[in-house]
Amino acid sequence: MIAQTEYSKEKKVGEGTYAVVYVGTKLSNERRIAIKEIKTSGFKDGLDMSAIREVKYLQEMQHVNVIELVDVFMAQKNLNLVLEFLPADLEMIIKDTSILFTQADIKSWLLMTLRGVHHCHRNFILHRDLKPNNLLLAPDGQLKLADFGLARNMGSPQDFLTSNVVTRWYRAPELLFGARHYTGAVDIWSVGIIFAELMLRIPYLPGKDDIDQIDVTFRALGTPTDRDWPEISTFGTYNKIQVYPPPSREELRRRFIAATENALNLMCGMLTMNPHKRFDPTQCLTSEYFVELPEPTTPSELPKLTPK
């Protein structure tokens, strides 16, 4: 067992339903770290599932665009996850109106996000809760996927999965329809929505509730037909929804005013209704968008939060 005296807890920075987060220092090398203390009392079923998932998946991944689990230890019957210290997230940056960012900056964040997602998927891990708030930013500008509390293995084809995953605005159409079988395509959809949000600086599809989310999604992107998605009629709710035409290219150009044709191609690839036809991480990473100018901003030169 690792002694907790290896780390100091300095300041409480957050509290969720199942954990308290502290900022601290690893004493041996003065490294800044975050300690997520998992509350254990009050959980009658023993260790909480989110904590288990987080430990399980983060232990397997070492990638510059996935948050590093530095250590795990027990102290006073509490489970402590020592994570790398990441002071900001993409949501803060998007919302901070004093920050201006360029197309090259967006490209850089998107690239780092996709690399992280690619690494998860190569390890057969679905994140299932991608949103700007879970894309953390390191002091050196690197973006890291965080919060694996909803992650799971890509199941065997016959496994039943729950469709009640991903924060509503970032939820893929198959999840909105309640699919019990889905793939990494759900993560790609979320990234597509994040891409749109980076360009618009406001949430792209902010549904008020689960029903409204279906309406908002298809009003913006068109209701899928069984021609582009043959299995769609097997979803019970499909027949009850309003049919909207897909947006014309011109409408998309007007909405995403600064986007290049390649940027729109990539976004549309990620926001393809049929999950089988949606881009996979490799298709995204090799898209023309990342080859054309401007080059993505070097992480260390990306805009940062202005100190308050």
Partner 1 sequence: MTTSINETAAQKTAVPSSIRITDDDLYRHSTQYRIWSFTPERLTQIRTEINARAGAKVEEELKNFFASHLDLSPEEKEAVKSKAVPVTTHEELLLVNYFARMILSFAGKMNLPTEVAATAVAFFRRFFLSNSILDFPPKEVFHTSLFFACKTENYFIGVESFAKKAKTTTEAILKHEFKLLESLNFTLMNHHPYKALHGFFLDIQNVLSSRVDMSYMGQVYTNCKRSISDALLTDAVYFYTPPQITLAILLMEDEALMMRYMQLKFGLQVEDEEAKVQSTQDADSQSPITINAAKLLEVIKSCKSVIENKIIPAKDDAVKITAKMHYCQKPMAVVQRMKRQREASSTAATPLPGEADAKKQKT
- Numbered residues of the known binding site: 13-21, 36
Task: Rank residues 173 and 275 by Cβ distance to partner 1 and give the closer one.
Answer: 275
Binds partner 1 by CB under 8 A, chosen from 16, 295, 300, 301: 295
Angle between helices 103-122 and 185-200 (to 10 degrees): 170
Site track 37-66 with partner 1 (rule: CB under 8 A), x = hit: -------xxxx-x--xx-xxx-xxxx----
Task: Give the H or E element holding residue 78.
Answer: strand 78-84
Applying CB under 8 A, which of residues 17, 42, 76, 77 lies at the interface with partner 1?
77
**Does the footprint of partner 1 cover residue 255 (CB under 8 A)?**
no
- Identity of the residue numbered 272: T
Closest to 148 in 3D by CA, of 171, 121, 125, 169: 125
Among 6, 12, 153, 164, binds partner 1 (CB under 8 A): 153
The residue annotated as part of the active site, out of 48, 129, 187, 215, is 129
Residue of 97, 291, 306, 307 that binds partner 1 (CB under 8 A): 291
71: annotated active-site residue: no
How far apart, in whole angstroms, are the C-alpha atoms of residue 189 and residue 171?
A: 7
Give CA–CA dist 80/148, Å, rounded. Answer: 15
Separation in Å, CA 243 to CA 99, 154, 215, 223, 247: 38, 32, 9, 5, 12
Size of the residue set binding partner 1 (CB under 8 A): 36
> Does an H or E element contain 262, and which?
helix 261-270
| 101-140 positions binding partner 1, by CB under 8 A | 108, 111, 115, 118, 122-123
Minimum Å gap between C-beta 181 and partner 1 is 14
Residue 13's H or E segment, with its range, is strand 7-15
| Site residues, partner 1 (CB under 8 A) | 1, 44-47, 49, 52-53, 55-57, 59-62, 72, 74, 77, 79, 108, 111, 115, 118, 122-123, 152-153, 156, 282, 285-286, 290-291, 295-296, 298
